[in-house]
Structure formats: C-alpha cells, structure tokens
Amino acid sequence: MANKVYFHKPTNSKSYLLEAALWVLGVAVLALMEPTGKHAFSFCPFSWVLEQGCPGCGLGHAIAFLARGELAASWQSHPLGVPALVIICYRVAVLVRLYFGLIWWERA
C-alpha cells in the first residue's frame, strides 16, 4: 500500500514551531561566529571543569567552518560536524511538517 498524506493539527503545534525556530537560530549563530578567533566564554560545563573539554567540543566550530565552505577545517574541528548539521536540519524539517499538520504514515 502506498504512503498517504493525512492532515492532523496537534494541540501543542506552537511548541513545534518554537523549537524549529530555536534550532534555526542556534545554527545561524554558530554559522555567523568566527571559528578561528579565540572565544572568551563557553556554555559547556565540561569545558569549565575539564581541561580537554567534552566529546562534543568543536561541533560549533565545525558548523561555522561548514557555513564558510571549509570542509577540511570542519573535519579537523570535529568529524561529526556534518552529521550533526544534517540531523539538525532533519529535525527542523520534521517540526515544520508537524506544525503544518502533515504526517505521513501507512494505514494498514
């Protein structure tokens, strides 16, 4: 049986749009930051405590390098920068789809 499109407006649909907007804003801030510059503050509590930081350190720089088209520098900052950006973009697409009430599933 083929996939069909069903329209359904969830009751908390505004939260979907808010989360999508926050993801887009976060990626935009990361894309606009200067990845080669020295940063004075980090929101990561692991970087406050641990000298080497956490396993996620460098993801923001990797996304900033990706926004500039510097794939090699992005890979050096963090190898998971590209997958992280793809996952974030997928999440935003799902949230927007949910907000507008488009849900795909197969009916048995």
Domain boundaries, the chain: 4-34+56-105
Rounded Cα distance between 15 and 3, Å, is 26
Q: What are 41-100's pLDDT values in tens digits? A: 677 777 778 777 778 888 988 999 999 999 999 999 999 999 999 999 999 998 888 887
Rounded Cα distance between 61 and 73, Å, is 9
Decide if 88 contacts 24 (C-beta within 8 A). no
What pTM value is reported for the model?
A: 0.75
Give ∠ CA 68-37-41 in degrees, rounded to 5: 115
